[in-house]
A and B are shown apart, each in its own frame.
Chain A
Amino acid sequence: MNVRDKEQQVATAGTTTRRMTMIQALRSAMDIMLERDPNVVIFGQDVGYFGGVFRCTEGLQAKYGKSRVFDAPISEGGIVGTAIGMAAYGLRPVVEVQFADYFYPASDQIVSEAARMRYRSAGDFTSPLTIRMPCGGGIYGGQTHSQSPEALFTHVCGLRTVMPSNPYDAKGLLISCIENDDPVIFLEPKRIYNGPFDGYPDRPLVPWSAHPMGEVPEGYYTVPLESAKVFRPGKDLTVITYGTMVYVSEAAAREAGVDAEIIDLRSLWPMDLPTVVESVKKTGRCVVVHEATRTSGFGAELVSLVQENCFYHLEAPIERVAGWDTPYPHAQEWAYFPGPARVAAAMKRAMEN
């Protein structure tokens, strides 16, 4: 049984809640922010009339009009570049890059412009924008619809990088990101848009409607940035992960018979280091799990931070489970994906020492 954190209990107490998929939760966040803040605008490829290829913005153009929610040309550099100009004017743009795999043409605008606007102008101009992008595999998307490029963003000073793992967090985090005055990369693990995924593609999907984390307040609430969540408390070892891998790690712990404490980072960078350090000091063992490729992945930073902060509490070498250092293959997807077996093997290695 998953543990819902205190803030969720507080937020849902006395408010109307509804079961939502992550898509519905994200849409609800954007709906609320369009309603609350006249400076919020939403645009991207297919997001206007059609409502987005994943339907996240469905109905928003009809509700708020074409000047608040609109379609953009197929140009990620143009989408982010215009969003930066709008943010400099005083708007709070929320733009969608249709797949994280497509953000590369916008790199210059994200890295050299949005991330450094406040710094280079000493606060004269700022870039309060949110760039949403579906990421991750498990949908047979091949190498152009499956990537997890979070490390390319966490390496950039001035950016915030966020990845939710459930509908409740997705909505609360997206509202926090839109309200935040820094540029935010909001990565959406598309494999869990409709339900949690434990890494077994042949098993039937558990929809969010049948999952407690699918219970989402209908109104406004926020989930704070730089705040990790203990997704599952445990005492044998600490798993540091985020996104889809939260559920894969949960399944792996069950199979390995390990009482794992699973930490869902939620905010990748800047991150909540104290929660991680406290957990690793308690368990003395650590497994870092992500779907992105291994070398120079964000896991390398996490391993380093744990080593720097918890060295004398460690009982075993830190384990790292990640995607292989290959492009994301189409047909061999499940050999590539770091599923429960690989995570369980790492947990067992961590317990052996």
Chain B
Amino acid sequence: MNTMSQSKPLHLHVPEPSGRPGRETDFSYLHTSPAGAVRRPPVDSTPADTSDLAYGLVRVLDDDGRAVGPWAMPIDKEILRKGLRAMLKTRAYDARMLIAQRQKKISFYMQCLGEEAIATAHALALEEGDMCFPTYRQQGLLLSRDDIPMVDMICQLMSNERDPLKGRQLPVMYSYKRAGFFTISGNLATQFIQAVGWAMASAIKNDTKIASAWIGDGATAEADFHTALTFAHVYRAPVILNVVNNQWAISTFQAIAGGEATTFAARGVGCGIASLRVDGNDFLAVYAASRWAAERARSNLGPTLIEWVTYRGGPHSTSDDPSRYRPADDWSHFPLGDPVTRLKQHLVSIGAWSDEEHVATQKEFETEVGAALKEAERFGSLAEGRMADAASMFEDVYKEMPEHLRRQREQMLREKS
């Protein structure tokens, strides 16, 4: 029998970030690898064969903006230019919408500052007809396309007469089936398992489309995340399981979601899913890893989980003040840098971009976003009460409006007048 006297009292471990307001973050917890250091296995590798990749960090761009190592794939310069433009467009859109919220033109906004490479590069790696199940920080999926009018998106933000969602959803909860962009819930993690179901349906119908599921580090703690991994593995669903680890879930550090001393990519390997941990601020790495995963899915080789390591450069939303829980200048010390700066450096170094073009493109998008906002304002706003009429709230609850909703709608109209 053990002697009790040798046992120390138990104590509860509650993870803490190394940095707090007034105390600089020690980013060594990220365990980064040098660019080019991580191997690129064949797409038909077994999930277990990706174990090392779930703990390493796939990076292509080195500190000098050169594309190095096995993940540096030949990419058409036009795709890279398109990617940089999509990132700049996304950043300009976010910046202007943030101001619009401050001006009380929209009630609420969520930017993706610092994370632009992930959604934009991923979007360019997918095919038409594929379906993304995004969170509220993947506006880059839409803004990297040419077929979604920015005015439409801003009308959603303004909940005005032209809001395609008729004022039913908070700003940024877009829905664009025709662009492969699933309706955003707001309840976290629910879309992750739905994406697996969509992918299963594609397989059931012998289709060629794949699904792409999105979740943040914080919401991986929800049951839907783990369920999604199980179902994706069991049915070998053609789905990419994206975990955007931006280090923060509102004020909660990723260690509270279970990221301490392990990785979110490692969850995938444990479930029998090929898994990669990738530098999410490296456009070339995001593109290459997305293509690898998409090829796996489209070849009936099953799901891939990708942890994108990045940093939430801005507040969680316009209702949040991150300087209360993390160093105010934290992002400027983040070792993986700014995705826009890094791709720009690369494109300039290969002669496919210039400082002048950069400034001109920034101006172009500022003008485009400004004009789109102005155009959207023509259709009113929530603030000025020009929105979908109140009676429309009874529509779309069911396909056909049942009698009780007709009665309630009549009552609302009667008692208001």
Contact = CB atoms under 8 A, between A and B. Distances in A.
B227 to A, nearest CB: 4
A125 B182 contact: yes
A338 to B, nearest CB: 27
A122 interface: yes
B133 to A, nearest CB: 8
Contacts of B193: 77-78, 81-82, 85, 109
Contacts of B396: 118-119, 122-123
Interface in B348-399: 396-399
B89 to A, nearest CB: 23
A83 B200 CA distance: 9
A75 B187 contact: no
B183 A117 contact: yes
B270 interface: no
Given A77-B227, A78-B230, A112-B190, A120 B175 contact: yes
B398 A270 contact: yes
B173 A120 contact: yes
Interface stretch (B38-46, B163-171, B285-293, B310-318): B163-171
Contact of A84 (B197, B228, B404): B197
A124 B227 contact: no
B200 A86 contact: yes
Interface residues of B, number: 44
Given A108-B187, A122-B164, A82 B177 contact: no
B168 to A, nearest CB: 6
A130 to B, nearest CB: 14
A105 B182 contact: no
Contact of B228 (A78, A112, A181): A78
B230 A85 contact: no
**A contact residues, range:** 35 or more
B195 interface: yes
Contact of B190 (A108, A118, A119, A273): A108
B397 A85 contact: no
Contacts of B195: 85
Contact of B198 (A68, A75, A85): A85
Contact of B175 (A83, A87, A124): A124
B175 A126 contact: no
B194 A113 contact: yes
Given A88-B131, A88-B194, 15 more contacts: A67-B204, A68-B204, A78-B227, A81-B190, A82-B194, A86-B200, A89-B205, A91-B205, A108-B190, A108-B224, A113-B190, A118-B399, A120-B183, A122-B396, A270-B403
5 contacts: A75-B227, A82-B200, A84-B197, A109-B193, A226-B402
